[in-house]
């Protein structure tokens, strides 16, 4: 079966109006009249997604234990006559006879022969909230499906973030709900009104809520659910939940390998991922050696189905080993008593530094050691206690040529000058170590940028080397985005929503 290549195409999102909320970045609001033309141009070799070896899985095929039935809610309209050719169909077959002006231009660009028989183009959206420990982010994905027998193409993403995270509202869930309401306004501005009731809205909370007492976490989830219910979007029954760590790692791996084209390629090469959040950190990769699987704790192995493959991954999420939780653990403050009067000190901090640090809605007093020593060696020794004996070293790490590292790995590499924020880049593990030493031994210089930079860089170095057991020469690809889409578990979670990956 010869099918046209699937191009992962990304394009500038058109947004009207100003975004009011605080954000980690704003997408440029550019009006691009020849919208679809950019789709052709933005495709590059990395994003050529040849489907030669992985034809579109056909759900209706008997005997293939593929994807569960699409929930009935997705097919309210009687116009769904033909069997769903593949599980990616989230919403009723909506034919867009006259796309709204918003997206209209240039639908009839010259297209490859194989496309030209297609008469209907389906556009659909998905809204995924990432409720993390340090912020809540909304990802709005736009997919285009040119043909029912083809996989949809991710057209673009709109991303926006607010701080603090939901867990900061543990004693005031209503305020937490307001932060979601604020982000939903952006979704309403972005998604055409006639798509609202077909567009699923999903929120997944991670370490911030995992670390809260259950009743507080549940009150927040309930509040979010109410905010969703009053929105015009489609609210699936399991739309608000705390995601487990296994899914968090697997779905970030799915995102990055999708965006880099590895999921479709027949080379069987994939990349590993390293995600460093505020509350937890994840490592995920596809082991080459059986021994990696056999020697791993059984819960560290995850299987899932995608594009007619079953993948078996090594993955783990370390709760309490995210960057902000690790800071507090290093300071001995996590779970400590006497928060009213105790001051937690560390040789990783500038000697004269004093601050109140708030994480997960709790405030801690922290300071440097005024008459003591500070510097890399002492700091390394301090952060070691958060890692040693806690982080498992996989048998094999070298089988993966490259690991993509993002979230706080990326942020701190930028802050410390290791990479350029706009481009990201490749670094070796030894570069983190070298830069950590420099930052720790010149704390005053970096204090204005981030007084915790020595602690953070030392922690990252220690986590990579002593924790996971990476060699100094291991190459890390630092990337906040790949082809203009955020490297995060959110895209993978959207795939999981649309076509159950059956992660187990």
Binding site for ligand NAG (CB under 6 A): 55, 57-58, 64, 308, 354-356, 365
CA neighbor of 46 nearest in space, from 414, 485, 429: 485
Residue 67 CB, shortest distance to ligand NAG, in Å, is 12
Residue 204 DSSP SS3: strand
Comparing CB distances to ligand NAG, the nearer of 273 and 366 is 366
Residue 307 CB, shortest distance to ligand NAG, in Å, is 8
Residue 266 CB, shortest distance to ligand NAG, in Å, is 12
Q: In the structure encoding, which two tokens stand for residue 284, read together?
A: 């995920």
CA neighbor of 141 nearest in space, from 224, 200, 206, 204: 200
Crossing angle of helices 453-462/429-441, nearest 10°?
150
Q: List 7's β-bridge partners, or say none.
A: 48
Which residues 6+ apart lie within 8 Å of 57 measured at CB?
64, 66, 67, 86, 87, 307, 308
Residue 69 CB, shortest distance to ligand NAG, in Å, is 17
Residue 309 CB, shortest distance to ligand NAG, in Å, is 8
| Residue with token string 């709900």 | 177
Q: How far apart are CA 273 and CA 251, in angstroms?
A: 10
- Tell me the HSE value of 129 on the side-chain side, using a 13 A CA sphere: 32
Residue 350 CB, shortest distance to ligand NAG, in Å, is 13
CA neighbor of 392 nearest in space, from 468, 454, 301: 468
- Residues carrying an active site annotation: 248
Comparing CB distances to ligand NAG, the nearer of 60 and 299 is 60
Comparing CB distances to ligand NAG, the nearer of 57 and 164 is 57
Comparing CB distances to ligand NAG, the nearer of 58 and 438 is 58
Q: How many helices, marked H, and strands, marked E, lie in the chain?
A: 14, 19
Comparing CB distances to ligand NAG, the nearer of 5 and 178 is 5
Rg (CA), the chain: 23
Which residues are annotated as part of the binding site for ATP?
278-282
Residue 492 CB, shortest distance to ligand NAG, in Å, is 21
Which residues are annotated as part of the binding site?
278-282
CB-based burial label for 105 (10 Å; 0-12, 13-18, 19+):
middle
**10 Å Cβ neighbour count for 230?**
11
Residue 276: C-alpha distances to residues 116, 307, 323, 386, 411 (Å):
44, 28, 7, 14, 10
Comparing CB distances to ligand NAG, the nearer of 58 and 428 is 58
Which residues 6+ apart lie within 8 Å of 293 measured at CB?
287, 301, 312, 314
Which residues 6+ apart lie within 8 Å of 378 measured at CB?
347, 348
DSSP code per residue over 305-339: EETTEEEEEEEEEEET-SHHHHHHHHTT-TT-S-T
The one-character DSSP state at 467 is I
Q: What is the DSSP pairing of strand 201-205 with strand 280-285? A: unpaired
CB-based burial label for 173 (10 Å; 0-12, 13-18, 19+):
buried
Residue 354 CB, shortest distance to ligand NAG, in Å, is 5
Comparing CB distances to ligand NAG, the nearer of 225 and 342 is 342
Q: In the structure encoding, which two tokens stand for residue 477, read together?
A: 């690809």
| Residue with token string 């487990």 | 244
CA neighbor of 46 nearest in space, from 479, 435, 391: 479
């Amino acid at each position: 079966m010869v099918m046209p290549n699937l191009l992962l195409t990304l394009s500038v999102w058109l947004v009207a109006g100003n975004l009011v909320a605080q954000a980690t970045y704003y997408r440029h609001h550019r009006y691009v009249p020849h919208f679809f033309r950019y789709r052709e141009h933005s495709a590059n070799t990395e994003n050529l997604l040849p489907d030669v070896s992985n034809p579109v899985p056909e759900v209706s095929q008997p005997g293939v234990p593929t994807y569960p039935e699409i929930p009935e809610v997705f097919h309210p309209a009687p116009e769904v006559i033909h069997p769903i050719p593949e599980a990616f169909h989230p919403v009723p077959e909506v034919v867009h006879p006259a796309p709204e002006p918003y997206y209209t231009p240039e639908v009839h660009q010259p297209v490859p022969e194989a496309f030209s028989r297609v008469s209907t183009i389906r556009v659909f959206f998905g809204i995924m909230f990432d409720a993390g420990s340090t912020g809540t982010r909304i990802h709005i994905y736009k997919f285009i499906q040119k043909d029912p027998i083809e996989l949809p193409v991710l057209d673009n993403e709109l991303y926006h973030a607010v701080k603090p995270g939901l867990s900061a509202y543990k004693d005031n869930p209503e305020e937490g709900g307001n932060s979601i309401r604020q982000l939903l306004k952006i979704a309403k501005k972005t998604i055409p009104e006639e798509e609202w009731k077909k567009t699923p809205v999903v929120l997944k909370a991670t370490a911030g809520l995992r670390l809260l007492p259950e009743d507080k976490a549940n009150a927040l989830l309930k509040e979010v659910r109410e905010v969703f219910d009053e929105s015009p979007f489609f609210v699936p029954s399991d739309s608000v939940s705390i995601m487990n760590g296994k899914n968090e790692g697997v779905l970030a791996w799915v995102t990055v390998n999708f965006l880099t084209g590895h999921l479709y390629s027949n080379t069987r090469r994939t990349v590993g991922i390293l995600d460093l959040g505020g509350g937890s950190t994840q490592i995920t990769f596809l082991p080459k050696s059986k021994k990696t699987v056999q020697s791993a704790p059984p819960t560290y192995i995850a299987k899932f189905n995608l594009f007619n493959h079953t993948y078996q991954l090594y993955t783990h999420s370390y709760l309490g080993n995210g960057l902000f939780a690790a800071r507090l653990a290093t300071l001995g403050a996590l779970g400590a008593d006497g928060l009213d009067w105790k001051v937690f000190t560390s040789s990783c901090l500038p000697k004269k530094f004093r601050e109140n640090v708030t994480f997960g809605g709790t405030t801690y007093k922290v300071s440097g050691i005024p008459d003591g020593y500070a510097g890399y060696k002492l700091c390394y020794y301090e952060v070691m206690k958060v890692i040693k004996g806690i982080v498992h070293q996989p048998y094999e790490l070298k089988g993966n040529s490259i690991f993509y590292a993002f979230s706080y790995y990326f942020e701190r590499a930028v802050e410390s000058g290791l990479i350029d924020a706009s481009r990201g880049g490749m670094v070796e593990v030894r570069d983190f170590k070298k830069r950590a030493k420099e930052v720790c031994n010149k704390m005053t210089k970096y204090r204005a940028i981030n007084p915790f930079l020595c602690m953070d860089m030392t922690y990252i170095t220690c986590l990579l080397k002593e924790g996971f057991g990476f060699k100094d020469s291991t190459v890390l690809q630092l990337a906040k985005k790949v082809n203009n889409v955020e490297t995060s578990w959110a895209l993978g979670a959207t795939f999981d929503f649309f076509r159950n990956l059956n992660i187990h």
